[in-house]
Amino acid sequence: MPTPPDTLRLYDFELRSRLLLGTARYPSPAILEQSVRAAQAAVVTVALRRESSAERAGQGFWSLVRSFGVPVLPNTAGCHSVKEAVTTARMARELFETPWIKLEVIGEEDTLHPDVLGLVEAANLLVREEFQVLPYCTEDLVVAERLLQAGCRVLMPWAAPIGSGRGLNNVFGLRALRAHFPEVPLIVDAGLGTPSHAAAAMELGFDAVLINTAVAQARDPVCMAHAFAQAVSAGREAYLAGPIPARDMAVPTTPLIGKAFLG
């Protein structure tokens, strides 16, 4: 019997892969385009800046992003207040003609730690306006519950601070988040630095990962994008296959029953 396709649905859209790719800080538009193709990205994220939305200089970039043929997830990167994030989301919906918004409300400058109180407040406001909100959050279980109560149907917990490349800083917290919300799509967002980090997140049972800096700032972004695509696929397949549990003692691979002992 053929295996049913392993697809991921975010709100009403079915993704073709489990890798989301950011579009910032690439050496050139050409390398960005090649990286998106190499990653087989399911979604590309775009940070909306108020000052560029109406400028002609930005229109070429928006056209390039649309040419990728994958859904665009605008985000409120750089917003430090509820008002700023909500206003940016409204502008993004008008510009990109999508109800999707990756909601970021930053509370601390050095770590770019989410302002979780502001995040919940902004999510409530945007859901009432019929946005489909994907909040960038921490692995905190209470915050996650509040965001789901607000009407978010997807969560995007960080692995580590944005751009840090540190990987999974709090495996226990991420594992607990996955266990508490088994039916909610969870996308690990921020802090992944290498393909092995992405594979580890997928092996924990997370549904997808979002990568930006680790690809854009690599020595060869296109090659790194392809490597992340393979890692995400391998991690997901390993999770579905059912990894053996970690053990404190060795377990022989050769059974002792029936083994001949020579005196």
Instruction: Show which residues are catalytic.
Output: 102
Closest CA to 171 of 205, 216, 148, 194: 205
Distances (CA, A) of 104 to 114, 117, 160, 176, 180: 7, 12, 15, 22, 23
Q: CA 207 → CA 98, 133, 185, 215, 254, distances in Å?
A: 22, 17, 6, 20, 36
Structure token pair of residue 37? 């193709």
Q: Are strands 187-189 and 208-211 parallel, antiparallel or unpaired?
A: parallel
Instruction: Give the three-class secondary structure for 145.
Output: helix
